[in-house]
Amino acid sequence: MGVRRLFTDADLESIRAATAAAETRTSGEIVTYVVGRVADHDEARWKAATLGALGVALLAGLGHWLGGHWGGAGVLWITLPSLAGAAAGYLAAALVPAIERRLISEDDVERRVRLRAEAAFLEEEVFDTRERTGILVLLALFERRAVILADAGIHRAVEAGVWERLVAELVDGVKSRRAAAAMVSVVAQCGEILERGGVELRTDDANELADAPRVRDR
């Protein structure tokens, strides 16, 4: 899923501005990261192909049983419906995101999105702030999942359950096609949470990580 389908230039600028504003109140560094999809999920398409092959083969068998429709070479009636069903199922999953998502294991999605977030945390060097006060907010659009990773200096200041609530808000934003607005809201709340948690703004604070959202199709 292309990120630009849900995020305009104005949306990205609003996220950047929200990040800059949130960081004026604390020494926390917030990195927003939006990825179109974290994996191809080919296994879902092959599941759809298998279901399609079985379904069309069953229909062909019922057609013969109920109406005696079998004409031509019997081997064709055995093989062609299955091949046509497999092709139709594969294409349906490839072209309709909702079908593909339904055929992906929940555990697999959670694992892959988490791994992508951990890779982004390293890729963007969120760990490399002076007082370990970096936060990564990752949103995976196709998978409709979000992950928030906070470095050690922030974990100590934030109570349990806070990040889960913000993650749920991000996911709801994607499902309602308000992903950009949800990201802006979550970034602002991150600033407030850090301020309440005592992650104070240093007098010599510097902007250690760029405020602009990172955008990747994969």
Decide if pLDDT at 116 tops 80: yes
Residues 25-37 have a mean pLDDT of: 92
Q: What is the model's pLDDT at position 9?
A: 92
Span 201-212, pLDDT tens digits: 777 778 889 999
Span 129-173, pLDDT tens digits: 888 889 999 999 999 999 999 988 786 777 778 899 999 999 999
Domains and CATH numbers, the chain: 3-40+105-216 (3.10.310.50), 42-102 (no CATH)
How many Cβ atoms from other residues are within 10 Å of residue 37's Cβ?
Answer: 21
Percentage of the chain exceeding pLDDT 90: 43
| CA gap 192, 142 in Å, rounded | 29
Report CA 206 to chain centroid distance, whole Å.
30
Residues 27-38 have a mean pLDDT of: 93
Which distant-in-sequence residues (6+ apart) come within 8 Å of 88 by Cβ? 52, 56
Q: Say if CB 214 and CB 32 are below 8 A apart.
A: yes
- How high does pLDDT run on average in the chain? 85
Q: What is the model's pLDDT at position 74?
A: 57
| CA gap 28, 132 in Å, rounded | 8
Decide if pLDDT at 4 tops 80: no
Confidence class of residue 78 from pLDDT cuts 50, 70 and 90? low
Q: What is the model's pLDDT at position 207?
A: 84
How many Cβ atoms from other residues are within 10 Å of residue 215's Cβ?
Answer: 16
The β-bridge relationship of strands 145-150 and 134-140 is antiparallel
* Residue (of 191, 217, 159) closest to 21 by Cα position: 191
Joined tokens for residue 58: 């069953």
- Please name the amino acid found at residue 73: A
| CA gap 58, 193 in Å, rounded | 57
Decide if pLDDT at 107 tops 60: yes
More confident residue, 207 or 118: 118
Residues 39-46 have a mean pLDDT of: 81
Confidence class of residue 77 from pLDDT cuts 50, 70 and 90? low
Query: Does the reported pTM lie above 0.75?
Result: yes
Q: What is the model's pLDDT at position 84?
A: 82
